[in-house]
């Protein structure tokens, strides 16, 4: 039946339907079918169908005869599942790929993905160390990817704060020092990730003035047209960089585009984080009703996926909203739950929320580099 359906499917107008039926009819490994499925996964991902892309890639891996190529497709499927809000499935696929890896580059990518999964699960006591190790492994194999992994490590360390070392990991300041050895010259820094890495490394090692030019270039690049994957990956650090520049307009623009892009692409792992940031900015702008809608959406996604991630439930945006509403009992309860949950996950930066004033003025530091590392 599936063979017949594949035969009548138009390869130009219905390539994905044809590929899926061919895969269902396959009796064993078949590279031609696997390659068609991999192409279908690319199209699905470009349309925002991350779960569909993951399904195509998983089936493609099952039908791939070559073990090395199968490992690559399993890693790609795991990446898609992670982005789609299913880090548990991503872990399972990563485990399947592990015994099939045949080269150092695949091993480095797998280690980086493991760090990304840990970060997505809110396991901040181990994510920075995994990502730093991946960066060192990638340094001679793919310097650009190495810097990306180091920037991800820095992002995780900023969230972890003083508890980032509890799992033997490195703190933000140590990661910033390592970044200085990997960065290209200023004239060669053309990517968003390089601007941001240079900015945060300078902020943590050399001071504010040295970081400003890099932050400006990074924020400017992110607020211009960027591929969706770049915006989804680096918008959070872009928001922090804009905060360091006291550019509230850029913060709001970035967070708004971040939310929109995550929705359009079904990126359910990053969408709650983006909603939390945009909700925070709406609160401090006085748009409480808009913030309430955004934070409600965040809670619903966290409940649906079953993953509290780095945001936690409630997140900082929710806590700030309760403070600005002067709802002292609710704010105290939310703050205690947030601090307790954050400590369990190795998120030491949450300590800075303990000094909230419940007098309607909400004297609370915004998300930023200095706030995240102050207790160091």
Looking at residue 344, its pLDDT comes to 65
Looking at residue 313, its pLDDT comes to 62
Looking at residue 345, its pLDDT comes to 62
Low-confidence ranges of the chain (pLDDT < 70): 162-170, 186-189, 312-315, 341-376
Looking at residue 94, its pLDDT comes to 95
Looking at residue 342, its pLDDT comes to 67
**Two tokens, residue 158:** 């900023």
Looking at residue 81, its pLDDT comes to 95
Looking at residue 347, its pLDDT comes to 63
Looking at residue 163, its pLDDT comes to 45
Distance of CA 308 to the CA centre of its chain: 13
Looking at residue 38, its pLDDT comes to 95
Looking at residue 47, its pLDDT comes to 84
Looking at residue 346, its pLDDT comes to 58
Query: Where along the chain do its domains lie?
Result: 1-100, 103-182
């Amino acid at each position: 039946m599936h063979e017949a359906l594949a035969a009548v499917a138009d390869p130009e107008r219905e390539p994905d339907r044809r590929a899926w039926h061919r895969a269902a009819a396959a009796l064993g490994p078949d590279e031609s079918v696997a390659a068609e499925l991999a192409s279908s996964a690319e199209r699905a991902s470009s349309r925002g169908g991350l779960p569909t892309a993951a399904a195509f890639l998983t089936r493609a891996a099952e039908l791939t005869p070559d073990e090395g190529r199968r490992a690559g497709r399993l890693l790609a499927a795991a990446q898609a599942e992670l982005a789609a809000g299913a880090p548990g499935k991503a872990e399972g696929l990563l485990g399947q790929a592990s015994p099939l890896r045949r080269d150092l580059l695949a091993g480095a990518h797998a280690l980086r993905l493991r760090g990304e999964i840990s970060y997505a699960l809110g396991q901040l006591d181990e994510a920075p160390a995994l990502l730093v190790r991946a960066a060192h492994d990638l340094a001679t194999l793919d310097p650009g990817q190495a810097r990306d992994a180091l920037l991800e490590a820095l992002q995780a360390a900023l969230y972890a704060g003083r508890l980032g070392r509890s799992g033997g990991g490195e703190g933000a300041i140590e990661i910033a020092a390592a970044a200085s050895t990997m960065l290209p010259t200023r004239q060669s820094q053309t990517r968003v990730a390089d601007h941001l890495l240079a900015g945060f490394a300078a902020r943590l090692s050399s001071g504010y003035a040295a970081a400003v030019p890099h932050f400006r270039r990074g924020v400017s690049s992110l607020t211009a047209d960027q591929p969706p994957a770049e915006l989804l990956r680096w918008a959070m650090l872009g928001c922090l960089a804009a905060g360091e520049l006291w550019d509230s307009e850029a913060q709001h623009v970035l967070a708004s585009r971040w939310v929109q892009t995550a929705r359009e692409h079904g990126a359910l792992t990053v969408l709650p984080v983006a909603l939390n940031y945009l909700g925070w900015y709406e609160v401090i702008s006085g748009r409480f009703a808009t913030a309430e809608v955004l934070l409600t959406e965040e809670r619903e996604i966290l409940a649906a996926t079953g993953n509290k991630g780095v945001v936690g439930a409630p997140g900082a945006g929710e806590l700030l909203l309760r403070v600005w509403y002067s709802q002292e009992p609710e704010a105290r309860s939310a703050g205690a739950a947030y601090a307790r949950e954050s400590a369990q996950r190795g998120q030491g930066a949450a300590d800075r929320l303990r000094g909230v004033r419940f007098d309607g003025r909400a004297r609370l530091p915004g998300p930023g580099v200095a706030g995240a590392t102050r207790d160091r």
